[in-house]
Structure 1
Amino acid sequence: MNDAVPAVTPMRTDEHGLSVGAGSRAALAHYDNAIHELLHFRAEVDAETRLALEEDPGFPLGNVLSAYLGLLTTQPEDARAAAERYRRFRSSVDASRLPPRERAHLTAVERLLEGDFAGCGRLLGRISERHPRDVLALFVGHQIDFFTGDARALRDRIGGALTAWSEKDRHFGHLLGMYAFGLEEAGHYDRSEEVGLRAVELNPKDVWGVHAVVHTYEMQGRFQRGIAYLDDRLTDWSTGTFFNVHAWWHYALYALEAGDVARALEIYDSVLHGPRSTGAAMEMLDAAALLWRILLEGGDETARWKALADAWTPKAQEPLYAFNDMHAVMAFVGAGRLAEAERLIADREAYLARTLPGVTNREMTARVGLPVCRALVAFGRGDFATTVDLLAPIRHRVNEFGGSHAQRDVVQKTLLEAGLRSGHLDLARVLVSERINVRPSSPFNWLKHAEVAEALGDAAAATTARSQAARLRKP
């Protein structure tokens, strides 16, 4: 009879004091480095994750992190590769022998593999309740809240963990940056600015913190303050991260508010979609969103649209994230390739028919994605009344297919422009009134107010509104 006791893997702790039940010391060190790089949105997160798994291929949290990274790119090819890697790992591990926190992460990944973003977010929330210092659960949950457009969760997931942290923690500032973004999306602009500025003070390279402050200025119409803020910190945010292209997109939005279309297009060509573009969906949606705003104001960027549509074609073959579909359709419509836009819509209709309920993107596509895509095609055909008919009923729930208020504003601007062009002037007046009373310092809003007033025959109000826009644009 063999009385030997099986060896037990010694418990180790990660940088934030949480027990890790598997993985060599070297693997754990690379995992801690990977989390650090993840919080900075730097490409090095992939290398550090890979090194952790080279040290210990069966390291559970290393495999979990690798899966999250691939599944959250919103690109089908990355998601497939991540799913295959994860399933190979999962077939070789006995989850019952893992600590509860790690088992919970496995379950969360498996929900994500099933396409259940909302369910994954809820499971990560339970992990955060018991382990508020689990940065991976907080970060991934925060991204899922963003992808599903859940402003309250963006605010409260991080807010609910902050009392377990202090400024002595290296990553406390990064949590503040995430919290500032949640505050902004939930409409707490003064508090968001305060928290975001503190986050960047603690770590000037915190691009998510910079991003939160920039969003706050965007939502308040403080475009001149936004430009100055980005200029002052140019070297901190403009290169070296997955996020620098998106930050430049925000700069381009400020340029449009200032009336400087040439500067916005310069940013487009040099950063958003030019020779050095990576072809990532996140970058191409920013490119489409900027060109569409210019199109709404009568800009003709046919050559840029055609190049962008070519780049979107291989990315739009498969359904994964309805928010991406909208931007692909923008590119096809902008390039005059309406048949390609119609094919994408038909493919997504077939996707709805063959996909079972419970897949988050299915609900996004049905409730928001397809109506918006159809509305964009109608706009491209000059059928502005149909655009209004499609967008007006969903204008208060476009958050359901993800993105931020600033990103989704392109849908609201499309509805406003369609209302003006189709003669739905009562609706256009309401939309402009809403915009002005939320962002009275936005020149765009006053210029649209002038257009509506002029269409209604109120020349004096139109002149006053244009004068207000001109005053706001003065340095």
Structure 2
Amino acid sequence: MPTTDLWNQPASTDSRDAVQAYERAVLATLEYRSSANDHVKAALAADPGFALAHCFKGYQYLLLGTGGTVAKARQAADSAKAQHDRLNDRERGHVAALASWAEGDVVGAATIWQRIVRAYPHDLLALRLHHLNAFWRGREDALTEGPAESLRAWTPDLPGYGSVLGMLAFGLEESGERRRAEAYARQAVQHAPDDLWALHALAHVLEMDERFQEGCDLIPLRQPAWDDRNPFKNHVWWHRALYAVELGRDAEVLQLYDAHLAPGARPFYLDVQNAASLLARLQFLGIDPGARWQALVAPVQALADDFNGAFTEPHKVLALAAAGELAAAERLADGTLTRMKRAGLRDPALAQVLDGLCRAIVAFYRGDAEDALELLGPIRGDLWRLGGSRAQRDVFEQLAIEAALQASPEVDGRALLARREILRPNSRLVKTATAG
């Protein structure tokens, strides 16, 4: 007969060991622990027919952000579907969501996760996936919607409560509600000090508030407690580096880059985002990153034939173009929409933004700032479609400013700088540009 989990939700398995391993997998995922996959394997070892564990396995493959694991995700979905007759509605929802996502239908998957969360507000897996899906689609409303709707069913004694607060905090921050976001983020960190997403939410508040020294204090330079975390920890280090950039601690920035942000030979897509974005920010400030751009070429080329999400693609183009590999960058930009279609994404509005941005990056590094500015003009207000956060997308706003300063300094350059000075009065980019 069904066994209930920590959150009193029925699971279609007779194995208590399988359910407990699944619980550990969920909590490990919330804390970005590299042990999550081991717990999923343990759940399937305890009950090879445990559909939720098969779904979890499939989700983990898709979270890697590469087409190379889609077939394995589909296999996991098929294994879960084979248990259809023994599943409850919540579990069937997960099977359907996984199948939709594996076919590239991220909107369909998000709709199913939302339906699960509304019926089962303690389903942390559905809530987290809905939240991350909203993040990579630029849906600020949905980022807040899921955790806000489910929070009323939670109490502080339930495992995962702090993580729900952290998701709500991040959604509020991205919606511009930074005061409320900070309050929830601090509660989240208090309840779940090991939850990197909660810490990340607070890091975003401090970044957007330009409270850079507080950000440095929030993320000390030594974090041995993160040794067992997955690559998301490097993105938190990226935030630490952003504070140092604004404070003018350039040597510290490069040390952080070399220690935590430089991608290895087998890069994770987020590694490329972090690295290219940080080096571009330094470059726009006139800081020479040395051979670091060139060192990015091989990791990016390893991902060149893959579609790693709409937000990653322009970072790949940026890395190659800035390294002087303009022909390779142009080829990558030319093939972006083909790779997007191959991944199953059918979104004309997103395609227009993605194509325009990639071509603008190539134009800028080719030395044609006027062309770059012209390409950026129609899409700047729609960059949210790429996904990512406001802080992450800011690198493309900085690119627009640099292009404007080169192409039309007295008109467009002044206009964009004036806007940034209002929005971010302590921006080092503004101070550097106006100092000359």
Bin the TM-score by the shorter chain.
over 0.9
- The structure 2 residue matched to 1:318, chosen from 299, 306, 310, is 306
Q: Is residue 172 from structure 1 mapped to residue 172 from structure 2 by the alignment? A: no
5 Å matches for 1:107-146? 107-146=96-135
User: How has the CA–CA distance of structure 1 residues 268 and 239 changed in structure 2, closer, same or farther, with 3 Å as cutoff?
Assistant: farther
- The structure 2 residue matched to 1:92, chosen from 78, 82, 88, is 82
Q: Distance in 1 between matches of 2:254 and 2:247?
A: 13
For residue 466 of structure 1, what is the aligned residue in structure 2?
A: none
Identity within the alignment, %: 34
2:285 and 2:429 in contact (8 A); partners too: no
Structure 1 position 344, deviation (Å): 1.3
Q: Distance in 2 between matches of 1:364 and 1:48?
A: 39
Q: Deviations over 1:139-192 (max 9, x none)?
A: 111110111111111011111110000111121111111111111111111111
User: How has the CA–CA distance of structure 1 residues 256 and 28 changed in structure 2, closer, same or farther, with 3 Å as cutoff?
Assistant: same
Structure 1 position 350, deviation (Å): 3.6
Structure 1 position 233, deviation (Å): 8.4
Q: Deviations over 1:438-464 (max 9, x none)?
A: 22233333434x26xx6xxxxxxxxxx
Q: Distance in 2 between matches of 1:19 and 1:215?
A: 36
For residue 196 of structure 1, what is the aligned residue in structure 2?
A: 185
Structure 1 position 61, deviation (Å): 0.5
For residue 175 of structure 2, what is the aligned residue in structure 1?
A: 186
Q: Distance in 2 between matches of 1:163 and 1:122?
A: 21
- The structure 1 residue matched to 2:69, chosen from 64, 78, 83, is 78
5 Å matches for 1:59-458? 59-87=50-78, 89-90=79-80, 92-93=82-83, 95-231=84-220, 234-236=223-225, 240-273=229-262, 279-301=267-289, 303-351=291-339, 359-360=344-345, 362-363=347-348, 366-423=351-408, 425-448=410-433, 450=434
For residue 29 of structure 2, what is the aligned residue in structure 1?
A: 38
Aligned amino acid, residue 127 of structure 2: L
User: How has the CA–CA distance of structure 1 residues 267 and 361 changed in structure 2, closer, same or farther, with 3 Å as cutoff?
Assistant: farther
User: How has the CA–CA distance of structure 1 residues 132 and 226 changed in structure 2, closer, same or farther, with 3 Å as cutoff?
Assistant: same
User: How has the CA–CA distance of structure 1 residues 236 and 192 changed in structure 2, closer, same or farther, with 3 Å as cutoff?
Assistant: farther
Secondary structure, aligned partner of 2:377: helix
Secondary structure, aligned partner of 2:306: coil
Structure 1 position 311, deviation (Å): 0.7
Structure 1 position 86, deviation (Å): 3.0
Q: CA RMSD in A?
A: 2.1
Structure 1 position 373, deviation (Å): 0.8
For residue 458 of structure 1, what is the aligned residue in structure 2?
A: none
1:355 and 1:362 in contact (8 A); partners too: no
Q: Deviations over 1:83-141 (max 9, x none)?
A: 33333x14633x24421111111111111011111221111111111111111110111
Structure 1 position 80, deviation (Å): 3.3
Q: Deviations over 1:60-82 (max 9, x none)?
A: 10011111111122122233332
Structure 1 position 286, deviation (Å): 0.4
2:269 and 2:312 in contact (8 A); partners too: yes
1:326 and 1:369 in contact (8 A); partners too: yes
After TM superposition, the score normalised by the length of structure 1 is 0.87
1:173 and 1:198 in contact (8 A); partners too: yes
Secondary structure, aligned partner of 1:393: coil
User: How has the CA–CA distance of structure 1 residues 238 and 380 changed in structure 2, closer, same or farther, with 3 Å as cutoff?
Assistant: farther
User: After TM superposition, where is structure 1 displaced by more than 6 Å over at least 4 residues in a row?
Assistant: none
Q: Distance in 1 between matches of 2:210 and 2:118?
A: 36
User: How has the CA–CA distance of structure 1 residues 75 and 262 changed in structure 2, closer, same or farther, with 3 Å as cutoff?
Assistant: same
Aligned amino acid, residue 45 of structure 1: A
Aligned amino acid, residue 82 of structure 2: S
Larger radius of gyration: 1
User: How has the CA–CA distance of structure 1 residues 170 and 150 changed in structure 2, closer, same or farther, with 3 Å as cutoff?
Assistant: same
Structure 1 position 351, deviation (Å): 4.3
1:322 and 1:361 in contact (8 A); partners too: no
Q: Distance in 2 between matches of 1:331 and 1:122?
A: 34
Aligned amino acid, residue 235 of structure 2: H
Instruction: Report how many residues are paired.
Output: 436
User: How has the CA–CA distance of structure 1 residues 66 and 171 changed in structure 2, closer, same or farther, with 3 Å as cutoff?
Assistant: same
Q: Distance in 1 between matches of 2:143 and 2:235?
A: 19
1:165 and 1:172 in contact (8 A); partners too: yes
Secondary structure, aligned partner of 2:305: coil
Secondary structure, aligned partner of 1:65: helix
* Structure 1 portions without partners, runs of 5+: 1-9, 455-475
Q: Distance in 2 between matches of 1:21 and 1:299?
A: 57
1:34 and 1:46 in contact (8 A); partners too: yes
1:71 and 1:83 in contact (8 A); partners too: no
For residue 51 of structure 1, what is the aligned residue in structure 2?
A: 42
Structure 1 position 366, deviation (Å): 1.1
Q: Distance in 1 between matches of 2:185 and 2:20?
A: 29
User: How has the CA–CA distance of structure 1 residues 160 and 279 changed in structure 2, closer, same or farther, with 3 Å as cutoff?
Assistant: same
User: How has the CA–CA distance of structure 1 residues 239 and 387 changed in structure 2, closer, same or farther, with 3 Å as cutoff?
Assistant: farther
Secondary structure, aligned partner of 1:41: coil
1:237 and 1:247 in contact (8 A); partners too: no
1:132 and 1:161 in contact (8 A); partners too: yes
* Structure 2 portions without partners, runs of 5+: none
Q: Distance in 2 between matches of 1:351 and 1:280?
A: 18
Q: Deviations over 1:341-360 (max 9, x none)?
A: 111122224446x659xx44
Q: Distance in 2 between matches of 1:239 and 1:103?
A: 32
Structure 1 position 315, deviation (Å): 1.1
Aligned amino acid, residue 281 of structure 2: R
Deviates more, 1:427-436 or 1:216-225: 427-436
User: How has the CA–CA distance of structure 1 residues 315 and 23 changed in structure 2, closer, same or farther, with 3 Å as cutoff?
Assistant: farther
User: How has the CA–CA distance of structure 1 residues 128 and 375 changed in structure 2, closer, same or farther, with 3 Å as cutoff?
Assistant: same
